[in-house]
Amino acid sequence: MKPQVIIIGRPNVGKSTLFNRLVGKKLALVDDQPGVTRDRRMGDAELAGMSFTVVDTAGWEDEDPDTLPGRMRMQTEVSLEGADAAMFVIDARAGITPLDEEIARWLREQEVPVVLVANKAEGKAGEAGLYESYSLGLGEPIGVSAEHGEGIADLFGALWPII
Ligand code: GDP
Ligand code: MG
């Protein structure tokens, strides 16, 4: 079985866009509205002989388990158990939010290795957020633009040693 890498992050940071970019097909639903991805979606990513299964998740919502967002959060946590690594995606244009910090705190307590992905890093607008994301304590961020296809080889390079 291929290593499994799960995409984690708050709504609207570009998880599904990254999934689509990595898998190369429009399998994940992308929308401007937060929380549009209701199910986990899986697909295979390949670059230069390296191959792994990517799992797209619903956004992390700070809600109780009786609500749909709460259940989506639980689904994220459960699916992390089968993962060999996680890509934690932040929005470099928006900068770090309290919810990013909460997710980072939770991820630091998990066994699974984490690659920090600063998405929307195309152009100058993402620079501050990229540097700010060092404060999450998850190591060096990989700046990518899922939408424009930038930084994807760097992302594979960061995953290579840990999966
Ligand atoms: P998700 O909720 O985390 O799955 O986020 P989506 O993939 O649905 O994307 C949310 C929004 O961010 C959409 O409007 C995307 O077009 C936009 N987006 C995704 N990736 C990028 C990127 O690399 N750069 C910019 N500027 N926008 C992006
Ligand atoms: Mg999504």
- What is this structure's pTM? 0.89
Centre of ligand 1 to C-alpha 118, Å, is 12
Which H, E and C letters describe the chain, residue by residue? CCCEEEEECCCCCCHHHHHHHHHCCCCCCCCCCCCCCCCCEEEEEEECCEEEEEEECCCCCCCCCCCHHHHHHHHHHHHHCCCCEEEEEEECCCCCCHHHHHHHHHHHCCCCCEEEEEECCCCCCCHHHHHHHHHHCCCCCEECECCCCECHHHHHHHHCCCC
Listed by start position, the domains of the chain span 4-157
Provide the percentage of residues in the chain whose pLDDT is more than 70.
Answer: 77
Atom of ligand 1 nearest to the CA of 37: 4
Nearest CA owner, ligand 1 atom 12: 14
CA distance 31 to 38: 12
Task: Write the ipTM.
Answer: 0.99
Please check if 46 is assigned to a binding site: no
Report which bound ligand comes closest to the CA of 33. 1
Ligand found nearest the CA of 15: 1
91 appears as a binding residue in the annotation: no
Two structure tokens written together for 45: 């990513």
**Superfamily of domain covering 4-157:** P-loop containing nucleotide triphosphate hydrolases (3.40.50.300)
100 pLDDT above the threshold of 70: yes
Measured by CA distance, the residue closest to atom 18 of ligand 1 is: 14
Q: What is the Cα–Cα distance from 148 to 48, expressed in whole angstroms?
A: 20
Ligand 1: residues whose CB is within 6 Å? Answer: 9, 11-17, 30-32, 34, 36-37, 59, 119-120, 122, 145-148
Chain-centroid distance of CA 45 in Å reads 14
Tell me the pLDDT tens digit for each residue of 21-69.
999 865 555 555 555 445 568 889 999 889 999 998 865 655 566 766 6
